[in-house]
Amino acid sequence: MRLDNAPEGATISALLQAGEIDGFIAPRPPSRIEKGHPHIGRLFPDPVLVAKDYFKRTGLFPIMHVLGIRRALTEQHSWLPGTVLKAFEHAKAIALEKLADTAATKVTLPFVEEMLRDAREFMGEDFWSYGVALNRKVLDYFLGQHHAQGLSARRLSVDELFHPATYETFKV
């Protein structure tokens, strides 16, 4: 695979339309998809169906974000990783509580209650799980793929990535 920077001022949509790039991965589709460009589309017509099938077969749901803390900070403040994790868990609990409170809905999405219920039934109550223990399987798979694709010189273990304080448990 070859990686190049886009030319100055170029947009992903324009590069796709011109055939300069074949595809890309991003959190949002390019604007030309929404405008119905005939040569630009999604890899899968129904990405939700594909993601659900993959999850059902493998039990893996890709991690969306990882937060890193400089080693120097964790060496100086061993409590920091656990505290940051606890803060994010607390914020997630607040966000999910607000999402579930549809008396004054936070999103203008039809069927939000049903979608939330469906996600919980399909993936469990903690569908955006935080922490090492709940993500060990997907992290281990990622590290295996990372090494197999030549992106790491050796196969790393999950435990090499995390400070011991991130294994602490607490109640939110």
Per-residue pLDDT of the chain (172 residues; tens, 9 = 90+): 677 788 899 988 888 888 888 888 877 777 777 777 787 888 888 989 999 999 999 999 988 888 889 999 999 999 999 899 899 999 999 999 888 888 877 788 888 889 999 999 999 999 888 888 889 999 999 999 999 999 999 999 999 988 887 776 655 5
Domain ranges, residue 89: 55-167
Q: Are residues 143 and 59 in the same domain?
A: yes
Determine, yes or no, domain membership for 50.
no
How far apart, in whole angstroms, are the C-alpha atoms of residue 154 and residue 143? Answer: 10
Listed as own residue / partner, the contacts of 108-114 with beta carbons closer than 8 Å and 24 or more positions apart are none
pLDDT, position 94: 93
Contact 78, 85 (CB under 8 A): no
Q: Are residues 95 and 163 in the same domain?
A: yes
- Model pLDDT, residue 1: 63
At residue 52, the pLDDT reads 95
Per-residue pLDDT at 171: 53
Q: Is residue 77 in a domain?
A: yes
Half-sphere exposure of 144 (CA within 13 A, CB side): 6
Instruction: Say if CB 89 and CB 126 are below 8 A apart.
Output: no
In one letter, which amino acid is 91?
A
Same domain, 25 and 67: no
Assess whether 157 and 97 both reside in one domain.
yes
Q: What pLDDT score does 170 carry? A: 54
Domain for residue 107, yes or no?
yes
Residue-level pLDDT at 38: 80
Predicted structure pTM score: 0.76
In this structure, the answer to whether residues 78 and 124 fall within a common structural domain is yes
Q: What's the structural domain count of the chain?
A: 2
Q: Do 67 and 21 sit in the same domain of this protein?
A: no
Residue written as token pair 């991130």: 166
> 86: Cβ–Cβ under 8 A, 6 or more apart, which residues?
170, 172
Give the per-residue pLDDT at 49: 95
Residue 169: its pLDDT value, please?
62
Same domain, 31 and 107: no
Encoded tokens for 170: 């607490």
Q: Do residues 37 and 17 make contact, with C-beta atoms less than 8 angstroms apart? A: yes
Q: What is the DSSP letter of 7?
A: P
Identify whether 87 is part of a domain.
yes
In a domain, 48, yes or no: no
Nearest Cα neighbor of 92 from 111, 118, 113, 64 is 64
Is residue 59 in some structural domain? yes
Rounded CA-CA distance 33/83 in Å is 42
Same domain, 73 and 156: yes
In a domain, 126, yes or no: yes
